[in-house]
Amino acid sequence: MQWTSGIAIYFLLWIFSAFMVMPFGIRTHQDAGTAPEAGHADSAPINFQPWRIVWRTTLVAAVLFVLFYVNYEQGWITAEDIDFFPAPPDLEAEQALTTADPAR
């Protein structure tokens, strides 16, 4: 894997992880038993800490990237393992002919 591909995959995993991590630890005014300030939504968090979310997201994304990279190197799960819909029989026959006769 090229290093640029690794960075792109890590970035995608980071964004995915951010959406997974964001809801944990957030408390609303209703949870805390206080009244929201004028103009704030009832669902607005009272203890929003963005740096905590960034650190948690980075940790989760790093773990997911390491698992992805080890799987990439070791080949534990391949595309053939998750191919739930096999190719139609006529396509398989055509592929068999082209591999048997490369001039075709």
User: Does residue 33 belong to any structural domain of this protein?
Assistant: yes
At residue 12, the pLDDT reads 97
User: Does residue 91 belong to any structural domain of this protein?
Assistant: no
Note down the domain range covering 24: 3-76
Look up the pTM and report it.
0.70
Structural domain count, the chain: 1
Residue 89 has pLDDT above 80, yes or no: no
User: Does residue 22 belong to any structural domain of this protein?
Assistant: yes
At residue 16, the pLDDT reads 97
Residue 97 has pLDDT above 90, yes or no: no
At residue 41, the pLDDT reads 85
Over residues 20-76, the pLDDT tens digits come to 999 898 888 888 888 888 888 888 888 888 999 999 999 999 999 999 999 999 989
Burial annotation 55-65 (CB, 10 A radius, 16+ → b, else e): ebbeebbeebb
User: Does residue 38 belong to any structural domain of this protein?
Assistant: yes
